[in-house]
Chains A and B, each alone.
Chain A
Amino acid sequence: MENLITIENLKKYFPIYGGVLKRKVAEVKAVDGVNLNIYKGECFGVVGESGCGKTTLGKTIIRLLTPNSGHIFYQTPREIVEAIKYLEKNDPKSKALKYLLREYDIAYLRGRRLKKLRRFMQIVFQDPTTSLDPRMLVKDIVAEPLVAQGIAKGKEAEDRVVKVLEMVGLSRTHLYRYPHEFSGGQRQRIAVARAIITNPEFIVLDEPTSSVDVSVRAQLLNLFQDLQKELGLTYMFISHDLSVVECISHRVAVMYLGKIVEFAETGELYKSPLHPYAKALFASIPIPDPTRRRERAPLSGEVPSPVNPPSGCRFHPRCELAMDICKRQEPPLVDVGGGHFVACYAIAKKE
């Protein structure tokens, strides 16, 4: 399967300023070395709890944020990625490397070239109430990507808006209204319409169903699946709702404190999560079946602050299987078979 997006060692830190002179005193290591591939046409789920960096990861991939280091390869054939990795190791100053990075690495694009990228990568935010400008008409909100990027305007833009509104289940009568006149589910549809109007290839869905009602959730999820088939989209579906991710994603990655600790195909991951954190996370989901109640909480303690993550494996203070090496060195993501990757010394040893 073709890789649409390849991410190498992506890092995004947020500085914290303090003191009288407002110097940088610490950094929030939101994304701290993430490697991942997203295949064309798939729905890639990313789960984790607050502070794990999944939203930051999504926003950095589509370049709403600029990474501190690492690479984001978009539409890059595997051979080129390999070539770049090879060159980086052996001949980091070569001109060829510089050229290749300029061509394929979107991590450090700026200005006009970055603007051109916007057409292909879009995002749907979590809260449709705050992600739509309350002082703009629906028509203008949905047409904005076209107008801002100079793709279309006026009547042509309006026609495209109508087409896209109909695709998400709204209609022409909704053009001249303000967002507050709609329900939560409808607002989210408007946000989706805005995201697809430029015919993008990749859409980051950042907890798109978390702020809407349960009955509306299903409608939106069906919409996402239909659009994916119709328009050949690739999704990155970020959520903390594990049951929703299970039903819509092809592959899922679990994040903890800025790193991916496990990823695999959905069925495989949900059937047998291997990483201790992933196991505890899945075991914590309340099951809507009163005959299966839990006696103990699967995981004790709290998530540490991403400003000062623990040394070595981030999870070692809370992990039952923690060994000596876990405190000293970060475990790499290891393939334990069938495309199932885990970053854990204890598990890797077992498999």
Chain B
Amino acid sequence: MKFKVPERLQPTIREIKFILRRIKDTPLSLFGIAIVMFFVVIAAFAPLLAPPVPGLNPYLIPSDPALGFRVEPSPPSPKHPFGTTLLQRDIYYGCIWGTRWAFQVALEVIIPIVAIGVVLGLIAGYYGGVIDEILMRFTDIILAFPGLILAMCLVTVLTQANWTTIDSVLLSIVLIGWPGYTRLIRGETLRVRNEDYIEAARASGASDLRIMFRHILPNTIYSIIIVASLDFGGIVLTTAALSFLGLGAPTGWADWGRLIYDGMSFVSGGLRWWWSWVYPGVFISLFVLGWSLLGDALRDVLDPLYRRK
């Protein structure tokens, strides 16, 4: 019994070991992975690190009644390690749950973008010709859309249908973001399509669908992983920026961008209420930095690996 599973997984395990060894050799990538792991742990253990108020949506930052409903932020104290922001909302709580929220937002955007990109990119790259032209022109049109304006329009329109602002914003990011992946995957498909093993698969009787998903896709996956990990940080940054402009999470939501928005009025005070925008800012920067380093590291590790094979 014991020997069946290891045999099947052995080659994958060997590959992972090889990748890990190469990652170990680049200190910067280790740093990136460390940061990302740090955030993953925070997101996973959010309920433990910042216990939510029972009965309340955990993503809503609770205010501290003990400090009253003053507008001015209170400085960090043992009860509020990062201090409080507008209306005495706990920044520490906001940052912790904001991590979980960041992951949720990123996944909610990345997964649809990659899915659409894969399907359209594979089809366009594999079939070429008229289909490719049509899809690519359509993609070009979408790329021409100004994202911010689209976001604002969607928000306006969809609130009529009882959509929350943040959902509309995420939808607009998805709508703006899928062409990038489509192009990427189309390019990779074009590269892979002319390889001998694709012809061999055709000679073996494989259908187009099988070739696309069983042969082309696995060979393009490294590029997707690299770009997606870079985008992970990028998407969070975009949503934070949109929150900063008021298009994003609702009031009191545990979103880093929202926290900075709340702290925006207090920036004018210079360093007087520094904790209201420094902590969320640090979280955002570190998050994006970690994912960027990870993406770069993966690019160095995975690309030559691929070429070496």
Contacts and interface: CB of A to CB of B under 8 A. Distances in A.
A and B touch in the complex (CB under 8 A): yes
Contact of B206 (A119, A134, A144): A144
Nearest to A124: B200
Which interface residue of B205, B207, B210, B219 has the most chain A CB atoms within 10 A?
B205
Given A127-B196, A134-B219, A135-B219, A176 B204 contact: no
B200 A194 contact: yes
A136 B308 CA distance: 16
Interface in A21-39: none
A63 to B, nearest CB: 9
Contacts of B202: 64
Nearest to A149: B205
B11 A177 contact: yes
6 contacts: A118-B205, A123-B203, A134-B219, A134-B309, A180-B308, A191-B200
A222 to B, nearest CB: 23
Given A130-B195, A133-B197, A136-B218, A64 B7 contact: no
B8 interface: yes
Interface string B186-216: 0000000001110111111111001000110
Contacts of A181: 11
A276 interface: no
Contacts of B308: 180
B10 A122 contact: no
Contacts of B309: 134, 178, 180
Contacts of A126: 196
Contacts of B8: 176
A139 to B, nearest CB: 9
A156 B199 CA distance: 25
Contacts of B195: 130
A40 to B, nearest CB: 21
B209 to A, nearest CB: 11
A148 interface: yes
Contacts of B15: 178
Interface of B: 7-8, 10-11, 15, 195-197, 199-207, 210, 214-215, 218-219, 221, 306, 308-309
Nearest to A137: B11
A62 interface: yes
Contacts of A144: 201, 204, 206
Contact of B196 (A115, A119, A130, A176): A130
Contacts of B210: 148
Nearest to A139: B8
Contacts of A119: 205
A255 interface: no
The 5 closest A-B pairs by CB, nearest first: A118-B205, A145-B204, A131-B196, A149-B205, A148-B206
B10 to A, nearest CB: 6
A127 B195 CA distance: 11
Contacts of A131: 196-197, 199-200
A131 B54 CA distance: 60
Nearest to A114: B205
Contacts of B200: 123, 125, 131-132, 191, 194
Given A118-B203, A134-B197, 7 more contacts: A122-B203, A123-B200, A125-B199, A133-B201, A144-B201, A145-B205, A176-B8
Contacts of B197: 130-134
Interface SS of chain B = helix
A135 B306 CA distance: 10
Nearest to B15: A178
B199 A148 contact: no
Nearest to A127: B196
Contacts of B206: 144, 148
A251 B224 CA distance: 50
A62 B202 CA distance: 11
A195 to B, nearest CB: 8
A118 B204 contact: yes
A301 B10 CA distance: 55
Interface in A186-213: 191, 194
Nearest to B217: A135
Contact of B218 (A123, A135, A191): A135
B11 A148 contact: no
Given A135-B218, A177-B11, A148 B196 contact: no
A194 B204 contact: yes
Contacts of A132: 197, 200
A10 to B, nearest CB: 18
B256 to A, nearest CB: 37
Given A123-B200, A130-B196, A178 B11 contact: yes
Contact of B10 (A127, A145, A149, A176): A176
A135 B197 CA distance: 11
A175 to B, nearest CB: 8
A62 B196 contact: no
A32 to B, nearest CB: 22
Nearest to A135: B218
A130 B307 CA distance: 12
B203 A62 contact: yes
Given A127-B196, A130-B196, A136-B218, A148 B201 contact: yes
Contacts of A177: 11
A136 B214 CA distance: 9
A130 B197 CA distance: 6
Contacts of B219: 133-135
Given A130-B196, A177-B11, A180-B309, A149 B204 contact: yes
A134 B11 CA distance: 12
Contacts of A62: 203
Nearest to A123: B203
Contacts of A136: 214-215, 218
Interface in A103-119: 115, 118-119
